[in-house]
Structure 1
Amino acid sequence: MHLQQLETPCALLDLPRVQRNIQRMQQHMNRLGVKFRPHAKTSKCIEVVLAQLAAGAQGITVSTMKEAEVFFSAGIKDILYAVCISAAKLPRALALRRQGCDLKILVDNERSALQVCEFGRAHQERFEVWIEVDTDGHRAGIDPAGEELLTVATMLQEGGSKVGGVLTHAGSSYELHSPEKLAALAEQERAGCVLAGRRLNQAGIRCDNVSVGSTPTAFAAAHLEGVSEVRAGVYVFFDLVMHNVGVCEMDDIALSVLTTVIGHQREKGWVMVDAGWMAMSRDRGTANQQRDFGYGQPCTLDGMPIAGFTMIGVNQEHGIIAPDISMQSIDITQKFPFGTQLRILPNHACATGAQHAVLYACDAEGDATPWERFQGW
């Protein structure tokens, strides 16, 4: 099916861009001499993840048990579940391991560590548990220099679990936009996680894995001494937030939403399209960056950004595209005739992707193949 035949709105993947993005990251990791474990939460798509593994990735990262189950059923065994495990999810983790999945789980506090150990003993299972450390104050994790790190690791080891490694995520990198600041944060991320691993080893608790990662810091890292692996996810699609951060160009963004012009509000200068927040999401990730793209950047059908126009608003099934001051003299009915198909680049690829059960993978000729993008937890 050609993309012009697709019913709108729908999610498009530009396959040449996807393949280029995968190669770019993998080659960078190869140069730095580390294992690359891509995060599958952005795509939630078997075809995309298989392409990442074919390029040289080793294992995957997931953020839901559903992801772990689906990717294991597709033959992928080396899986890291990178969210602090809750007790309610331990039976599903056990089931995966009993089926042969090399699943690693994560904790970042004493209570979670205790629950894992108690469940493991009750079911004669020695879970491999990684410990999350906080290297930038962004979200979760234990202080890599604090006593709690050793307390949690000791609880796990004495409680019958295997301490598999330490992990961190420099999510605050999304707030930066200069090479110097990104490089500094990448080094802070590396140094903090390496410190945590070193402290465990010095305490007699074997720590074989030091895992860092975010798309911006992965690209910004000058070296990764002491790191065993890197995780990143949004790089495979990129988005407008990543463009503002400075790690991709507009023509690297591989995910877009195909939409159709369904009307005009001439007195307001608005172009109405059939992609609202149900197709784009409500994510306004660029609002606090140096350039605000509203709800997305309109492009022509062949993917070229349309200068001077932004998706300024969304209702459930309506999107509003409007010109900036420099374009307000243009006749919008002539520039965007009724029935015109457009692509909208998203602020946040993960959020926009989550609105769609199918990704239409388009080759250079515009031929589209449906790839399932699964949902749920």
Structure 2
Amino acid sequence: MQNILETPVLLLDERRMQHNIERMQNRMDKLGVSFRPHVKTSKCLEVARRQIAAGARGITVSTLKEAEEFFRAGVEDILYAVAIVPNKLDHALKLIRAGLRLTLLVESVAMAEQVARHGAEHGVCYEVLIEIDTDGHRSGVKPADPMLLDIAAALQGGARLKGVMTHAGASYDLNTPEALEAMAEQERSRCVAAAMLLRGAGHACDVVSVGSTPTALSARHLDGVTEVRAGVYVFFDMVMADVGVCTRDEIAISVLCTVIGHQPAQGWIITDGGWMAMSRDLGHQAHGYGVVCDADGQPLPDLGFGKANQEHGVLQWRGDAGVDIVQRFPVGSSLRVLPNHACATGAQHGQYHVIPQNGGDWPVWPRFSGW
């Protein structure tokens, strides 16, 4: 099948994906928490359906476009896990009025006040989480910051405090089980502490939402947590393999490309899979633009991928200098590349060509993009 595909194309191994879905869901079930997968990784209805069938309760999105697309497909419980801003409130209002149970996120008093005011003006009560910074990675309010109570106090009238949420993105920089376990506990304990602070001040805080793929797969317990979110686990990628939460054999997506030429004097094999097919995300920079594999997906350690142009991938032969790379990798031959960052590579493509777990024809699953 792959020999007749016009490359570059994004391949999805259904068997690996299903294994990843079941692995995460089973772990969440054992830890006694709800699981709300982050669908920004796949942006694909067929993938999300399998996550929901496995036991997910609602989904997480990173754009209101995602919320709109998945709601149209029948998903009715969605967390928009990026701090809301004024120019998106009308879009959120439209979705809520259409029947979507949409939860918003804030991290400032000013935005909490605007959300509450907008809700009151339009006759709705927005359900809102406060983002908690548990690792200094990106955004949110520190668990003991007095501003936390000020934000909660501002969520009244047209808004209701639903709970707290955090994302331990710093876990992506770790690579030992001990460090990952410690980060998972830090994420849990600090988010729970924020919830307890709010409750102690008389605020309801029903939801305590944590999650990243590394911490979800490393937590020993999740006492005080009500739900976990994770996204990249559904496909995994080389960053996750380097972190240590998956093997290369569990990475479910790859980019199929074709050899289009050679520069034998420099040891280069040129493909039609440049950075437009892979993205410019170099991950931990250990693998260039990705890990090169043969047509069956087996890694080729003697081929590096350290250079790319928009539509050209420049692979470097690092093996025996006596090998004729033109004969070994002739024009027209197929290679596959495991991505550094599944979300970023997926965003370069409009569909998945699915390698079915039970054989037969390869279906095509659409994915969407945009905001």
Shorter-chain TM range is over 0.9
The reply on whether 1:375 has 2:369 as its aligned counterpart is: yes
Structure-2 change in CA distance of 1:118 and 1:304 (3 Å): same
Alignment partners' CA distance in 2, 1:316 and 1:222: 43
Alignment partners' CA distance in 2, 1:230 and 1:102: 18
The reply on whether 1:336 has 2:329 as its aligned counterpart is: yes
The reply on whether 1:306 has 2:306 as its aligned counterpart is: no
Alignment partner of 1:182 out of 180, 183, 192: 180
CA drift at 1:366: 7.3
Report the secondary structure of 1:306's partner residue: coil
Q: Which amino acid aligns with 2:310?
A: Q
Aligned residue runs from structure 1 range 10-25, under 5 A: 10-25=9-24
CA drift at 1:3: 2.6
Q: Which amino acid aligns with 2:315?
A: I
Which residue does the alignment assign to 2:349? 356
CA drift at 1:86: 0.8
Q: Which amino acid aligns with 2:362?
A: A
Alignment partner of 1:295 out of 289, 297, 310: 289
CA drift at 1:330: 2.2
Alignment partners' CA distance in 2, 1:327 and 1:42: 38
The answer on whether the counterparts of 2:115 and 2:158 sit within 8 Å (CA) in structure 1 is: no
Alignment partners' CA distance in 2, 1:126 and 1:346: 42
Report the secondary structure of 1:333's partner residue: helix
Structure-2 change in CA distance of 1:268 and 1:205 (3 Å): same
The answer on whether the counterparts of 1:3 and 1:366 sit within 8 Å (CA) in structure 2 is: no
Question: C-alpha root-mean-square deviation of aligned residues, in Å?
Answer: 1.0
Alignment partners' CA distance in 1, 2:361 and 2:332: 20
Alignment partners' CA distance in 2, 1:133 and 1:9: 40
Extract structure 1 runs of 4+ deviating beyond 6 A.
none
- After superposition, give the CA deviation of every residue in 1:243-295 in whole Å (9 maximum; x if it has no partner): 000000001011110100001100000000001111111111121xxxx1010
The reply on whether 1:172 has 2:166 as its aligned counterpart is: no
Which residue does the alignment assign to 1:52? 51
The reply on whether 1:316 has 2:310 as its aligned counterpart is: yes
CA drift at 1:227: 0.3
- After superposition, give the CA deviation of every residue in 1:274-332 in whole Å (9 maximum; x if it has no partner): 01111111111121xxxx101011111111111221211110100011123x4443221
The answer on whether the counterparts of 1:3 and 1:368 sit within 8 Å (CA) in structure 2 is: no
Q: Which runs of 5+ in 2 are unaligned?
A: none
Report the secondary structure of 1:23's partner residue: helix
The answer on whether the counterparts of 2:269 and 2:329 sit within 8 Å (CA) in structure 1 is: yes
Please, what TM-score do these two structures have when normalized by structure 1? 0.96
Which residue does the alignment assign to 1:235? 233
The answer on whether the counterparts of 1:134 and 1:141 sit within 8 Å (CA) in structure 2 is: yes
Alignment partners' CA distance in 2, 1:231 and 1:274: 36
The answer on whether the counterparts of 1:3 and 1:367 sit within 8 Å (CA) in structure 2 is: no
CA drift at 1:160: 3.3
Q: Which amino acid aligns with 2:50?
A: A
Please, what TM-score do these two structures have when normalized by structure 2? 0.98
Aligned residue runs from structure 1 range 197-236, under 5 A: 197-236=195-234
Alignment partners' CA distance in 2, 1:367 and 1:265: 36
Structure-2 change in CA distance of 1:149 and 1:327 (3 Å): farther
Report the secondary structure of 2:305's partner residue: strand
Q: Which amino acid aligns with 1:196?
A: A
Report the secondary structure of 2:363's partner residue: strand
Aligned residues: 370
Alignment partners' CA distance in 2, 1:42 and 1:329: 42
The answer on whether the counterparts of 2:118 and 2:158 sit within 8 Å (CA) in structure 1 is: no
Q: Which amino acid aligns with 1:231?
A: R
- After superposition, give the CA deviation of every residue in 1:122-174 in whole Å (9 maximum; x if it has no partner): 101100010000000000000111101111001113x4311111000000000
The answer on whether the counterparts of 1:3 and 1:362 sit within 8 Å (CA) in structure 2 is: no
Report the secondary structure of 2:301's partner residue: coil
Q: Which amino acid aligns with 1:358?
A: Q
Alignment partner of 1:265 out of 263, 266, 272: 263
Alignment partners' CA distance in 1, 2:192 and 2:361: 46
- After superposition, give the CA deviation of every residue in 1:96-123 in whole Å (9 maximum; x if it has no partner): 1111100000001111111101111110
Which residue does the alignment assign to 2:281? 283
Alignment partners' CA distance in 1, 2:349 and 2:241: 22
The answer on whether the counterparts of 2:269 and 2:317 sit within 8 Å (CA) in structure 1 is: no
Alignment partners' CA distance in 1, 2:185 and 2:162: 23
